[in-house]
Amino acid sequence: MVIIIGVLELQGGYGLHHSLLKKIGICSKAVKDESDFSDINGLVIPGGESTTLSLLIEKYKLKDPILEFAESNPVLGTCAGLIIMSKKNNDDRVNVLGLLDIEVKRNAFGRQIMSKKEKITISIKKEKNIELITTFIRAPKIKNYGSDINIIGNHNGEPVAVLSRNSLGLCFHPELDDIDIFHKMMFDKTSQYYFKKIKQKDAA
Ligand code: GLN
């Protein structure tokens, strides 16, 4: 079976997700309306502006299709994508999907000028931490999270990568740094980091 990962193309930085997926040999396609969900095996919700993304999800009636798709398929959200996937955020204009039981604060890492590369630690299996340098751009902070949330990435002791069932949310932009581990987690069944192989107790 050919795996096709959809990238939500409503607004924001979707282009580099297509490039990254291509680099790792995975077909990707644009998701713009409900019919685009019929042949995809995973979905990326890119970074951008969560207020605008939220408006466009509403305008194109994509909330229910995304929620239905997420029941049995992996969804990866980066930055604004994570905000959209959260349960609660500090801006009334952003209508969230509630895929991740987290409460986030928009722009909590500072303004555009404060955007920078930071070291993060990924700990999926306890014995194997991975250190990565990646990019934060007006990134959200995760202020609270529920008991079914696995923290798989930290920055200075704060959660920046969270996994719950089929949903993975990142505060940063791995696609800007050619970091492919998170995209691979969606479909690479041979990887120990494959979504469905990760048990609650394995995550740090
Ligand atoms: N600050 C943006 C928002 O709140 C997110 C920025 C990003 O996706 N890089 O929507």
- Which tens digits make up the pLDDT trace of 32-43? 999 999 999 999
Confirm if 104 and 82 have CB atoms less than 8 A apart: yes
Give pLDDT, residue 23.
Answer: 95
Tell me which of 9, 155, 175, 183 is the catalytic residue. Answer: 175
Give pLDDT, residue 196.
Answer: 72
Strands (E), the chain: 4-8, 27-31, 42-45, 75-78, 88-89, 102-105, 116-123, 129-136, 141-145, 150-155, 158-164, 167-170
At 127, is the pLDDT very low, low, confident or very high (cuts 50, 70, 90)? Answer: low
| Over residues 49-59, mean pLDDT | 98
Identify the three-state secondary structure at position 56.
helix
Say what the pTM is. Answer: 0.94
Residue nearest to atom 9 of ligand 1 (CA): 137
CA of 2 from ligand 1 middle (Å) equals: 32
d(CA 71, CA 20): 25
Q: Is the dihedral of CA 203, 199, 125, 132 positive or negative?
A: negative
Give pLDDT, residue 199.
Answer: 60
Closest atom of ligand 1 to 173 CA is 9
At 203, is the pLDDT very low, low, confident or very high (cuts 50, 70, 90)? Answer: low
| Over residues 116-136, mean pLDDT | 88
* β 150-155/116-123 pair status: antiparallel
| β-strand partners of 122 | 130, 153
| Average model confidence (pLDDT) across the chain | 92
At 194, is the pLDDT very low, low, confident or very high (cuts 50, 70, 90)? Answer: confident
Residue type, 181: I
Written as six digits, the tokens of 128 are 């194997």
At 120, is the pLDDT very low, low, confident or very high (cuts 50, 70, 90)? Answer: very high
Residue 168 has pLDDT above 90, yes or no: yes
Written as six digits, the tokens of 145 are 């999270």
For the chain, percent of residues with pLDDT exceeding 70: 94
59-112 pLDDT, tens per residue?
Answer: 999 999 999 999 999 999 999 999 999 999 999 999 999 999 999 999 998 777
Give pLDDT, residue 115.
Answer: 77
17 catalytic per annotation: no
d(CA 56, CA 169): 20
Tell me which of 17, 79, 155, 171 is the catalytic residue. Answer: 79
183 catalytic per annotation: no
CA of 136 from ligand 1 middle (Å) equals: 9
For the chain, percent of residues with pLDDT exceeding 90: 81
d(CA 194, CA 198): 7
Tell me the CA end-to-end span of the chain in Å, nearest whole number: 33
68 catalytic per annotation: no
